[in-house]
A = this chain, B = another copy of it.
């Protein structure tokens, strides 16, 4: 019994093929692979008796043999023999469907042709020029005639992946070396030169295209590269500019809508300092930056690739957990398994971490041996786990440096100075760049009241940040803070203010997050002015108001709000409630013991 009885053949049998088969087995699909190894990662997990084909995904005879056995051909790598795929599509009388379309694979295979295609369809990309010949002169003239000068990226048009085939040319002096180096890998595919995108973050979006042309996108994620190989992925992307998430999905969706054929596409992009998004490159297949979808999304990229090529209903792409990250397990310098195994074993001890090993035999440097996906209730907890894992990487390796700097870079996306201000260090358990709750106040004179909120959040183990944001004196800072909060992963804002007390209401007007208002008692009117300013909001913009000077209760309310679906916090609240009860009972006991008259004098 199977969801679909048509047979699927995959060109390539590495980890992507393995995960495609694992997804397919849940629907009991019949999938065979073409690979030059009987014990490749994909073949290990499938017992199709004699169904697999032994050979290269570039060998015409082997591809045709596979085509003869199946109804649908698909790929786990784009560097396949497209001529033969086109021949299969043309000559096998429509009996064998090839997904994605060979013409799409052909366009994408040649990275400059891909760029031309995207530019033609007005998708934003970095300016690129093909070299007329593989010479330093051709490079220099291309740069001076078409680009704005060095540094530039010299790239091989074909057979390039994981940074292979790229050369960063810092100055004209390096032109000769760059061309000679790449000429070897580029072969007859040729070279092109590209303006260096001064990106502040790398973004990826997995896009699914159905046979009928329906296009759906997964959330945009942040990818971190180490020596040009994807190293860590954070999902979803958190940026202070909330529009980045939807704009990145739009760029990716628009780009994939210009191609024909069905399947999953990995779209890699650059986020520039000015907020602009440029498409970097496309992979016509499941992608490393989409591994996280297995545990974090309603439907994995592998499941959706199979649904797409079988013309089954596409699955929901939304995340089902609040936050996730993926850490690649890459072979290290020493070539032994120990470095990788250390991370995998550590992952077994981390709540929410899922180990994926690919069953590869040799562990040479940079080889993708597996990955770990971490899911969690907050960005902070997931980042903590990622840090625990990457801390095990050899310190002299360039890698951990890259990872840390990427993490540091994320915090640069925050509104200035939010991350620096922090009080009450002793109770703060926080990665301040990814708080669940943000505590702000109109003036540092409110700190005496608002510190109660911070202390309570710290005591109950909720990551928070605390700073000053004034509605009247720093209106721009307030707007930036309010607009970016949701995208930064904040789930609840606590705002305290006195007197005219506009801060909570103004923030509530600029975010969909719940805002708790704390009326701070001023020198006159006993705080009733603040209370009425905060609580009497007009229809449409609610503020959750607590008692005058109720900083502690505001912290507790914030915990109640973020605790939904976080049993740990609900338990912490129960414990707190019991402690309150016990405090009262202790007083009762004492009063009964000593009598109320003496109690009063104590």
Pair B557/A318 contact, Cβ less than 8 Å: no
Bound: A568/B320 CA distance, A: 12
Instruction: Give the contacting residue for A318; candidates B312, B318, B513, B567; CB below 8 A.
Output: B567
Known: A46-B45, A565-B322. A357 touches B2 (CB 8 A): yes
As a 0/1 sequence over residues 538 to 563 of chain A, the CB contacts with chain B under 8 angstroms (1 = contact) are: 01111111111010111011001111
Q: 8 smallest A-B Cβ distances: which pairs?
A: A544-B544, A542-B553, A316-B351, A542-B557, A28-B357, A512-B573, A514-B560, A491-B564
Task: Establish whether residues B553 and A539, one from each chain, have CB atoms under 8 Å apart when the complex forms.
Answer: yes
A562: B residues at CB distance < 8 A? 564
Cα(A564)–Cα(B319), bound, Å? 12
Is A577 an interface position by the 8 A CB rule?
yes
**B545 touching A546, Cβ below 8 Å:** yes
Interface size on A, residues (CB 8 A): 88
In angstroms, Cα B577 to Cα A319, docked, is 24
Nearest CB in chain B to that of A512: its residue: B573
Partner of A321, one of B26, B320, B369, B492: B320
Interchain CA distance A568-B358 in the complex, whole Å: 35
Instruction: Report the bound CA distance from A567 to B512 in whole Å.
Output: 11
Is A198 an interface residue when CB atoms closer than 8 A count as contact?
A: no
Bound CA span A577–B508, Å: 11
Stretch in A83-91, A136-144, A413-421, A529-537 with 4+ CB within 8 Å of B: A529-537
Name the residue on B nearest A554 (C-beta).
B542
Is A461 located at the chain interface by the 8 A CB criterion? no
Task: Tell me the bound Cα distance from A279 to B337 in angstroms.
Answer: 46
A551 to chain B: closest residue by CB? B539
Q: Which of A307-361 contact B (CB under 8 A)?
A: 307, 312-313, 315-316, 318-322, 337, 340-341, 344-345, 348-349, 351-352, 354-361
A432 at the interface (CB under 8 A from B): no
Q: Is the CB of A298 within 8 A of B355?
A: no
Contacting residues of chain A (1-51) with chain B, CB-CB under 8 angstroms: 1-3, 22, 25-28, 39, 43-47
Residues of A near any B CB (own CB < 8 A): 1-3, 22, 25-28, 39, 43-47, 298, 307, 312-313, 315-316, 318-322, 337, 340-341, 344-345, 348-349, 351-352, 354-361, 363, 369-370, 375, 486, 491-492, 512-516, 531, 535-537, 539-548, 550, 552-554, 556-557, 560-565, 567-568, 570, 573-574, 576-577, 580
Q: Is the CB of B531 within 8 A of A535?
A: yes
**CA A1 to CA B540, docked complex, whole Å:** 57
Nearest B residue to A513, CB-CB? B560
Q: Which residues of B contact A344 (CB under 8 A)?
A: 3, 27
* Assembly CA distance A345 to B369 (angstroms): 35
How far apart are the CA atoms of A520 and B293 in the complex, in Å? 47
Q: In the complex, which residue of chain B has the Cβ closest to the Cβ of A574?
A: B512
A542–B564 contact, CB under 8 A?
no
Given contacts A535-B546, A545-B546, contact A560 B512 (CB under 8 A): yes
Chain B min CB distance to A176 (Å): 41
Task: Tell me whether A546 and B554 are in contact (CB under 8 A).
Answer: no
Task: Given A47-B46, A307-B348, A352-B298, check contact A544 B570 (CB 8 Å).
Answer: no
CB distance from A247 to the nearest CB of B (A): 15
Q: Are A375 and B320 in contact (CB-based, < 8 A)?
A: yes
Which residue of B1, B375, B515 contacts A357 across the interface (Cβ within 8 Å)? Answer: B1
Chain multiplicity (copies): 2
Residue contact A550 to B542, C-beta cutoff 8 Å: yes
A312, A319, A544, A567 — most chain B CB neighbours (10 Å): A544
CB distance from A368 to the nearest CB of B (A): 12
Residue in B28, B356, B547 whose beta carbon sits within 8 Å of that of A537 in the complex: B547
Interface hub of A1, A360, A577 (most chain B Cβ within 10 A)? A1
Other-chain contact of A360, B1, B26, B355, B546 (Cβ < 8 Å): B1
Q: Contacting A580 at CB < 8 Å: which of B337, B540, B574? A: B540
* Contact between chains at B356 and A316 (CB < 8 Å): no
The residue that A3 contacts in the complex, of B355, B491, B537, with Cβ under 8 A, is: B355
B28 touches A359 (CB 8 A): yes
- Contact between A537 and B553, CB atoms less than 8 A apart: yes
Name A242's closest neighbour in chain B (CB-CB): B574
Which residues from chain B contact A318 at a C-beta distance below 8 Å? 351, 567-568
- Residues from chain B with a CB closer than 8 A to the CB of A351 are 298, 315-316, 318
Instruction: Report the bound CA distance from A557 to B437 in whole Å.
Output: 16
In the complex, chain B residues whose CB is within 8 Å of the CB of A548: 536
On whether the beta carbons of A341 and B26 are closer than 8 Å, the reply is: no
CB distance from A38 to the nearest CB of B (A): 8
CB proximity of A330 to chain B, nearest CB, Å: 12
- Chain B residues contacting A513 (CB-CB under 8 Å) are 560, 564
- Rounded to whole Å, the gap between the CB of A288 and the closest CB of chain B is 17
- Cα–Cα distance between A314 and B40 once the two chains are bound (Å): 30
